[in-house]
Structure 1
Amino acid sequence: MNEYRVQGLSCGGCALRLQQEIERLQHGEDAKLSFASGKLTVSSEISMDAVRKILRSDGASIIEPQAGEYGRSERHHHDGAEGHSHDHAHDHAHGHAHAHGSGMFGGALRTVAVAAILYAAALVADSYANQIYAVLLYAAAAIISGYTTFAKGLKNLLRLRFTMDTLMTIALVGAAAIGEWKEAAFVAILFGLNEYLEGLGMERARKSMDALLKATPKNALKLDNGRELMIPIDELRVGDTVRVKAGEMIPSDGIITEGSSEVNEAAITGESLPLDKQAGNEVYGGSINGSGMLHIRIEKAYVDSSLANILHLVEEAQETKTPTELFINRFAAYYTPGIMILAALVAAIPPLLFGKDWIASLYEGLSVLIVGCPCALILASPVAIVSGIARAARHGILVKGGVFLEQLGKLDTIAFDKTGTLTKGEPHVARTVEWDDQLLRIAGAIEQASSHPLAKAVMREVEARKTEIPAPQEIKTKAGSGVEASIDGSIYYLGNEKAMSHLQWTEEQLSAMEALKSEGLTLVIVADEHKALGLFGIQDEIRPESAGMIRSLHALGIKRTVMLTGDHERTAAKVAGEVGVTSYESSLLPQDKVERVKELGDKAAMIGDGMNDAPALAAASLGIAMGKGTASAVETADIVLMQDHIGKLPEAISIAKKVNRVIRINIGAALGLKLIALLLTIPGWLTLWIAVLSDMGATILVTLASLTLLIERRK
């Protein structure tokens, strides 16, 4: 498939009709033309000359081929001399589109302004009884403002294709034919202003989205045997080391090998505050180095990096049609012919049955045709969807399609994995019980060389207490139970209860152990050959934002929050109680989670981060993954929270609810204003300029309401 930028799309309805015409061409069945992004996707086998001809018939044209996919190594073929490399094509297409877009809309506004001045002059001439001059000025205003519409409409009329341009052309010619030059000029000016506002609204939404796509680094300073080589990021390979100076953009995902600095990851995670990074820490391509010099070992080629995937998925998200959009498109297919039939009845029935003047009835019929334009209705959803996706992305919430954004706003149930989602997925010591002052010293000596997660938790506790650690003489690992070590000539043991079978426990010790186990803690016991020195109660630390996030979800109208975990009952109960979910299920295998998620219904989402969560994410009506989770979870999910915590989930749902609310308002406004205008035909009050104003009013309301989604209050 090849992708192209298209300029001159005047409305959503026009884009839909052009797509349908391209689909009728040979090899055109998979064509997609998006009014939201101004992007055309067609088969590489299609005749581009035929495609260009169809676009030109409506005043649209291709401005530049666009690189096939963000974040993919595949390069798409483009016909003729228009082919460019990935970066050049992308930069040129975006720059040219923006420059031309600005010129196109500025030109349209100037045209309308000139026509308005001529119209004002005509009014003055008319008031002084200079009828000929007035007519000439009205005609000039109508021609200047309506020439493009008239040219497209005439072509469509000859093909018996009834678009808005066709309807406007009929109305303008009809008004002029009956001597209503003043009204013809006024209608032309209003329609020109309407088209300008409609295009400007979508362009504003597109630019907000394009701002997210500009965070693409172009080059990298590669270190090669002491030399510094400036190379395109496409040429970076896994294992390469790059130098990133203060203020520069990190070219791809990697690990810091030298240096320390604060790194701004806002473009990737939405985290507004810079994070301190040092050797050994992970960094993302697209994030900005603060004040220090960093050497970074590249862990992912750019095409597989976090930033490249975000850019690819955000662009892709603009192309998906929501259920509401699909319904509106189907509705418009019946609505437009229905309006045409109604217009014919309004024009013919009063003269035939009631003796009304034919000219007056024909005039009202033309007005009904204009009222029936579905453009504002078709525009009701895409501007809101693009604005919502852009706003979510600014917060580090990656929504992979408008359909998922709409669905997110309809949820009533959310299921959570426990480990790594509601908790950090990192064991920590929650309780320490000391029966001997040697506990920390011996525990540190035994665990210091171990990479086991529980050992790391114990070592963090030992180091936090600034304990001096001796070196062990010998260490033996006992599978499944613990470790035996020789320290300072004595034998010590560390492990679970099974590893302490040689001990005689006191009632006090047994009571202490039972209390920790009742809290859902895992026990790590330290002992010598005769007695226990103490123990550590370890648990997976609950994320500090989890409880507040659950409360916010309930406040937003989420009725059920369910925790699904493979952990045992005691731990599950403890975590569920602390975070405040409405229910939980424990000891679940991955396939069990899939079944539970399916039982939750079609207004439920699943959120997780691990490999074992991927099946449940796929099975859920909506899958939400943690951005730093496994690749399989992120790929499977419909929505990705790019930060390594779930605090942004309520924000995501709030944005989605606002988008759905705006779409409902837009549909109501578009249909409501048209209905009011149509009702004016009953007393005979509907005029051409009122018809245009009804469509114009709907367009303005729809556009402004959608663009409010981009506005955020400063906190």
Structure 2
Amino acid sequence: MAQINHQTDTCCHGPYSENKPSCQHSSIGHAHVSALKTTIIQVDGMDCPSCAQTIEKNIRNLPGVEQVQVHYSTGKMKLVGEKIDLQQVLDQLNHLGYTGHIVDSKQQTQVFHVEGMDCTSCAKSIEKHFASLSWVDSVEVHFASSKMRISHQKTAEAVLNEIKRIGYRAALSTEIKPTSSALSTLKNNWPLWVAGISLVLGLSVNAIGLNDYFSIFFYALSIVIGGYKPAKSAFYALKNRSLDMNVLMVAATIGATWIGEWLEGATVVWLFALGNWLQVRTLEKTRHSIRELMDLAPSEAWVKTGQGLKRLPVETVQVGQIIVVKPGEKIPLDGIIVTGSTSVNQAPITGESMPADKHPGNEVYAGSINETGSIEVKVTHQADDTTLAKIIHLVEEAQEKQAPTQNFVDRFAQIYTPIVFSLAMLVILLPPLFGLGEHDEWLYRGLELLVIACPCALVISTPVAIVSAIGNAAKKGVLIKGGAFLELAGQLQAIAFDKTGTLTQGNPRVIEVQAINKSEEWLLAIAQTIEEHSRHPIARAILQEAQERNISMLEGSDHKTIVGHGAQATIDGTVYFAGNQQLFEELHVSLDPVRDSIQKYQKMGHTLVLIGTEKEILGLIAIADPIRPTSKQTIYQLKQSGIQSVMMLTGDQEETARKVAREVGVDEHQAQLLPEHKVEAIKQLQQRGWKVGMVGDGMNDAPALATADLGIAMGGIGTDTAMETAGIVLMADHLEQLPFTIRLSRKALKIIKQNITFSIMVKLVALLLIFPDWLTLWIAVLSDTGAALLVILNSMRLLRFKESSK
């Protein structure tokens, strides 16, 4: 007899053709999340990082401790656990030779938008500064998204004042209006313009032949006004042992004035400030492309009350309340239509170009546009839990995840900058000692090396490109959940597709019902009773057919799933089975009465559900799932994009699989697969040396999605599981978004390589020009800031990349 899954929860129904569970639960399993408490303990007595490691190892073994992190720099220990004996923790610290006290944890975690960062080294300097403060428990600063996530024990005002003190501006992310550009204004950048005017005045005074002291005064004024902010940032960078561009520029400016090159010093300061301003403005345009998503949903909704319609902020609307959406208005919250029919433009969420018809019982999503009819909607999710809110959250998280290339570049920059800085010091000191030239001459060359020592263009070459690509994809209804997944998509060589709901429409219909010695109605009654708890597409087809024929449900019990084969139920004391051919072969039931029909329908490409008992076959139901009209074109476009092999994986019969594979144009297919067999198929592709992507519906085929180098889920709209189980999510149920995603990813990789190559070449050329004495300080600054600006502009081309782009 077939192996049967004796779980009583039959919502995760084991299918007989595509091995798809029938519910919205993740195939990976249900995670139990308990309410874990976080405690911060101030630890005194640590004199080196190894002390922190010793404490971590000892405290980790105490009862109730789930996680422990000891930060040597701040002297804090963070404990996470459900039932931690804090006195035992303090006693253990004393036993190890340290003292500790529990911090009065009025801790709060807030997210700030930070303005003024023009390089990843700025982000690191800010992060190090806040990490050194006693009232800060943890901090993360992300250059790409200009976000700082900080857990602290003071007020938001204290954080804002501290950011301002170190030379940057900030605002709580919740206080930034979606429609505001958050760009630096003329008022905020008055030092740049005043410094520029002072520089021009110095040049004018010098041109008309007045005393040099007048021109030096204006140059000095320009340096002080334009260099105040970089000098302040440089101070805190040095305090936190960072060598960022501010430190190097301040050093170069001081050196220039030391040798009497006041014009050169003022020019360096002003060009640096101008370059920073242009970079920040341009970067903010890239970052703003994501914040525009926040503006999709309206801030207020018309709520139906006992006193009529009332306009309320969306944050106050509760689940279950009825909202009214008029034609032409944006839908403010996720919900289900209870009254009215309309056409809804879901392009902001899914990227679909054609509006979707909506009727009572259909779901609608915040941010989509009600085009034709007035509708009443029952709210199903609050404002911070809508599909749009989840998309925004995922995209913001994706911006903050570094790609492998970015990690490599950052590591290279950490080595490059100290090496060039040391080389600059040697150039300044050694040649004069050996009588190879004047001290001022070599000091000037050393200052040029200092300017070149900061690889700004190089370190922003990757994150800006990734943010631009992720932002563009999000607007097209494609969620790319980080730079690593973007890079993987651009490197894919083979793609495997699930069949049902992916290459086919996933909306199968009953084509034929064939009963043996009984009526078709009786056979459908048995079949729908077995399938009554299932939401699998094939089960739904049977239930729909029975409903259309007005066939009543029978009294069934002991519903069970048979993984990969079908399902069973007990009706009037008899166990009935509904499943595939393999199920009945394992039950040793003769298929002779329907063998000819099986061969006939399989040749036609239909999926068969056999109905029977442990002793006999009672009939069959033939089901067809139409192929998506776009499947063949999608496969063709993928091959045009450079994908070397396309495979289809299915649990369906070989004849059905062969027919679908032939029609859509895949290179190879495998049929009659259980979930573990699909995993093996993915591994076989990987063993050929290929980077492999797996395309499924997100709820199903989770093991195969996890095994592939890149999991791609379809139909993520309204489905939490689809958003969680894959690296890329196609929000609409449309395959045609996939070739665009692959082309966008390949374009992003190409632009990243261009940026890195260009950045390195600029540095090499500048280095070569130093020793023939062809380079000047202001040209060095111009090359550095100019290269960074060109890298940013090149990356921003990804924001305008379209489906038709090459």
CA apart distance, 1:154: 5.5
Given the alignment of the two structures, is residue 577 of structure 1 paired with residue 662 of structure 2, yes or no?
yes
Residue equivalent to 2:150: 42
Change (3 A) 1:13 1:162: closer
Q: Residues 360-371 of structure 1: matches in 2 within 5 Å? A: 360-371=441-452
Change (3 A) 1:160 1:38: closer
CA apart distance, 1:337: 0.8
Is this contact kept in 2: 1:314–1:398, CA < 8 A? yes
Instruction: State the alpha-carbon separation in 2 of the partners of residues 115 and 475 from structure 1.
Output: 83
Is this contact kept in 2: 1:549–1:649, CA < 8 A? yes
Given the alignment of the two structures, is residue 128 of structure 1 paired with residue 208 of structure 2, yes or no?
yes
Q: Residues 71-90 of structure 1: matches in 2 within 5 Å? A: 90=174
CA apart distance, 1:7: 3.0
CA apart distance, 1:324: 1.6
CA apart distance, 1:523: 6.5
Out of 732, 735, 747, the position equivalent to 1:658 is: 747
Q: Residue 228 of structure 1 aligns to a residue in which SS? A: strand
Q: Residues 330-341 of structure 1: matches in 2 within 5 Å? A: 330-341=411-422
Residue equivalent to 1:391: 472
Q: Residue 376 of structure 2 aligns to a residue in which SS? A: strand
**Over residues 437-493 of structure 1, what are the superposed CA-to-partner deviations in whole Å (9 max), with x where a residue is unaligned?**
xx9999999999999977986999999xxxxx9999x99999999xxxxxxxxxxxx
Instruction: State the alpha-carbon separation in 1 of the partners of residues 357 and 154 from structure 2.
Output: 52
Given the alignment of the two structures, is residue 2 of structure 1 paired with residue 101 of structure 2, yes or no?
no
* Higher share of residues assigned helix: 1
Change (3 A) 1:418 1:58: same
Instruction: State the alpha-carbon separation in 2 of the partners of residues 311 and 156 from structure 1.
Output: 32
Q: Residue 557 of structure 1 aligns to a residue in which SS? A: coil
Letter in structure 2 aligned against 1:669: F
Q: Residues 166-185 of structure 1: matches in 2 within 5 Å? A: 166-185=247-266
Out of 311, 323, 332, the position equivalent to 1:251 is: 332
Structure 1: gaps (5+ residues)? 67-89, 434-438, 464-468, 482-494, 499-503, 526-534
Change (3 A) 1:591 1:54: farther
CA apart distance, 1:289: 1.0
CA apart distance, 1:302: 3.8
Given the alignment of the two structures, is residue 632 of structure 1 paired with residue 721 of structure 2, yes or no?
yes
CA apart distance, 1:49: 9.1
Is this contact kept in 1: 2:337–2:360, CA < 8 A? yes
Given the alignment of the two structures, is residue 544 of structure 1 paired with residue 629 of structure 2, yes or no?
yes
CA apart distance, 1:305: 2.5
Is this contact kept in 2: 1:429–1:538, CA < 8 A? yes
CA apart distance, 1:652: 1.1
Is this contact kept in 2: 1:34–1:40, CA < 8 A? yes
Q: Which moved more, 1:203-212 or 1:570-579?
A: 570-579
Change (3 A) 1:610 1:316: closer
Out of 669, 678, 682, the position equivalent to 1:597 is: 682
CA apart distance, 1:174: 2.0
Instruction: State the alpha-carbon separation in 2 of the partners of residues 645 and 52 from structure 1.
Output: 45
Is this contact kept in 2: 1:565–1:588, CA < 8 A? yes
Change (3 A) 1:440 1:645: farther
Out of 316, 323, 333, the position equivalent to 2:397 is: 316
Is this contact kept in 2: 1:567–1:586, CA < 8 A? yes
CA apart distance, 1:269: 0.5
CA apart distance, 1:44: 3.9
**Over residues 283-325 of structure 1, what are the superposed CA-to-partner deviations in whole Å (9 max), with x where a residue is unaligned?**
1122111131101223334443211211211121121111122
Q: Residue 5 of structure 1 aligns to a residue in which SS? A: strand
Letter in structure 2 aligned against 1:376: A
> Identity over aligned residues, as a percent?
41
Instruction: State the alpha-carbon separation in 2 of the partners of residues 629 and 417 from structure 1.
Output: 20
Residue equivalent to 2:284: 203
Given the alignment of the two structures, is residue 560 of structure 1 paired with residue 645 of structure 2, yes or no?
yes
Letter in structure 2 aligned against 1:548: Q
Is this contact kept in 1: 2:326–2:374, CA < 8 A? yes
Residue equivalent to 2:221: 140
Q: Residue 199 of structure 1 aligns to a residue in which SS? A: helix
Change (3 A) 1:253 1:54: closer
**Over residues 112-160 of structure 1, what are the superposed CA-to-partner deviations in whole Å (9 max), with x where a residue is unaligned?**
4444444344334333322434333333333343332244446656887
Is this contact kept in 2: 1:609–1:633, CA < 8 A? yes
Instruction: State the alpha-carbon separation in 2 of the partners of residues 702 and 247 from structure 1.
Output: 40
Residue equivalent to 1:707: 796
Instruction: State the alpha-carbon separation in 2 of the partners of residues 274 and 414 from structure 1.
Output: 30
Change (3 A) 1:300 1:60: same
Given the alignment of the two structures, is residue 671 of structure 1 paired with residue 756 of structure 2, yes or no?
no
CA apart distance, 1:107: 4.1
Out of 501, 507, 521, the position equivalent to 1:420 is: 501
Letter in structure 2 aligned against 1:126: N
Change (3 A) 1:239 1:649: same
Letter in structure 2 aligned against 1:398: L
Q: Residues 243-642 of structure 1: matches in 2 within 5 Å? A: 243-428=324-509, 514-522=599-607, 538-601=623-686, 603-609=691-697, 611-626=699-714, 627-628=716-717, 630-642=719-731
Is this contact kept in 2: 1:381–1:663, CA < 8 A? yes
Instruction: State the alpha-carbon separation in 1 of the partners of residues 169 and 344 from structure 2.
Output: 42
Instruction: State the alpha-carbon separation in 2 of the partners of residues 665 and 471 from structure 1.
Output: 65
Residue equivalent to 2:176: 93
Is this contact kept in 2: 1:63–1:97, CA < 8 A? no
CA apart distance, 1:102: 3.3
TM-score, L = length of structure 2 = 0.72
Instruction: State the alpha-carbon separation in 1 of the partners of residues 598 and 243 from structure 2.
Output: 81
Q: Residue 255 of structure 1 aligns to a residue in which SS? A: strand
Q: Residue 343 of structure 2 aligns to a residue in which SS? A: strand
CA apart distance, 1:685: 2.4
Residue equivalent to 2:230: 149
Instruction: State the alpha-carbon separation in 2 of the partners of residues 612 and 455 from structure 1.
Output: 15
Is this contact kept in 2: 1:445–1:471, CA < 8 A? no
Instruction: State the alpha-carbon separation in 1 of the partners of residues 555 and 657 from structure 2.
Output: 30
Is this contact kept in 2: 1:57–1:155, CA < 8 A? no
Instruction: State the alpha-carbon separation in 1 of the partners of residues 601 and 373 from structure 2.
Output: 45
Residue equivalent to 1:689: 778
Q: Residue 635 of structure 1 aligns to a residue in which SS? A: helix
Residue equivalent to 1:85: none
Is this contact kept in 2: 1:442–1:470, CA < 8 A? no
Residue equivalent to 2:7: none
Higher relative contact order (CA 8 A, sep 6+): 2
Residue equivalent to 1:12: 120
Change (3 A) 1:400 1:241: same
Instruction: State the alpha-carbon separation in 1 of the partners of residues 549 and 503 from structure 2.
Output: 37
Instruction: State the alpha-carbon separation in 1 of the partners of residues 484 and 647 from structure 2.
Output: 24
- Paired residues in the alignment total 652
**Over residues 480-529 of structure 1, what are the superposed CA-to-partner deviations in whole Å (9 max), with x where a residue is unaligned?**
99xxxxxxxxxxxxx9999xxxxx99xxx99897444313224699xxxx
Change (3 A) 1:23 1:145: closer
Instruction: State the alpha-carbon separation in 1 of the partners of residues 553 and 769 from structure 2.
Output: 93
Considering only aligned residues, what root-mean-square deviation do their CA atoms show, in Å? 4.2
Q: Residue 442 of structure 2 aligns to a residue in which SS? A: helix
Q: Which moved more, 1:149-158 or 1:454-463?
A: 454-463
Residue equivalent to 1:83: none
Letter in structure 2 aligned against 1:179: G
Is this contact kept in 1: 2:136–2:152, CA < 8 A? no
Q: Residue 611 of structure 1 aligns to a residue in which SS? A: coil
Q: Which moved more, 1:281-290 or 1:591-600?
A: 591-600
CA apart distance, 1:368: 0.2
Instruction: State the alpha-carbon separation in 2 of the partners of residues 586 and 406 from structure 1.
Output: 31
Q: Residues 19-30 of structure 1: matches in 2 within 5 Å? A: 19-25=127-133, 30=138
Given the alignment of the two structures, is residue 102 of structure 1 paired with residue 210 of structure 2, yes or no?
no
Given the alignment of the two structures, is residue 31 of structure 1 paired with residue 139 of structure 2, yes or no?
yes
Letter in structure 1 aligned against 2:668: S
Is this contact kept in 1: 2:401–2:483, CA < 8 A? yes
Change (3 A) 1:619 1:648: same
**Over residues 259-289 of structure 1, what are the superposed CA-to-partner deviations in whole Å (9 max), with x where a residue is unaligned?**
1222111121111332222223221122111
Instruction: State the alpha-carbon separation in 2 of the partners of residues 635 and 471 from structure 1.
Output: 39
